[in-house]
Amino acid sequence: MHWQSLWLGLPLMSCAFAIALLAAPAWAQHVHPEPQNSAPVVGAAAVPFDLKTLDGKAAGLETFRGKPLVMNFFASWCDPCREEMPLINELAAKGAKQGYNVLGIAVEDTRAAVTEFAKEAKLVFSIALDLNSTVKRGYRIFGPPATFFIDAQGTIRDVVLGPLTPERARDALKKSGIGS
C-alpha cells in the first residue's frame, strides 16, 4: 500500500518539479532584470524629437544637425536650473561665434512660467516646450537640470546630470569638437 501511494505521488511531484524548472528563468529575470530603457549614452545617437519654441518655431534634433548642440533640460521653478542659467546664457552667446547652438528644453513647467522666466533671466537662446515630457522621457532624465552635448553628426559626446559648472562645460564642449 505504501508503495502504491508513493507511485501515485511521483507523477505529481514530477509535474511540480517541471513547473519549478520552467518558472526559474522568469524568477531570475524578475530578480535581475536587464536594463531595457537605459538613458542615451555617450557615443550613441541623440534621440530625435520635434518640439515648438516659445515663439512657435520648430525645434527638433534635425533643426540643429550640422552644428554641435548644447541641449539643456530645465524648469523655471528649479533652483539649480536658475543658478546655472547665466552659464547657459554665456555658452549661447559664445556659440554664435564658435559655431554651435544652444537649446533649452523646458520640462515639468507651463508656457506662462517659462516665458516669464526667460524674460526675467534675459535668456538669449531658443527655448522649446516639452509640455508632455516626451523628450524628457526619451532622454531618460528624472528631472532638471540635465545637459547633453551633441556633436554635428548627432552623436552624444557628453552628459551632465545636475548643475553644470564652467569647468564641466569646457570639457564637454571639447568632447563635442568645440573650443581649444
pLDDT tens for 40-95 read 789 999 999 999 999 999 999 999 989 999 999 999 999 999 999 999 999 999 99
Mean pLDDT of 100-122: 96
Percent of the chain with pLDDT over 70: 77
Is the per-residue pLDDT at 176 higher than 60? yes
> What is the pLDDT at residue 30?
35
Which span out of 58-62, 125-129, 140-144 was modeled with the highest average pLDDT? 125-129
pTM of the model: 0.77
> What is the pLDDT at residue 39?
62
- For the domain spanning 50-175, the CATH number is 3.40.30.10
Calculate the CA 143 to chain-centre distance: 9
| All structural domains of the chain with their residue ranges | 1-34, 50-175
Q: Is the dihedral of CA 168, 173, 81, 36 positive or negative?
A: negative
Closest by CA to 50, choosing from 131, 124, 119, is 131
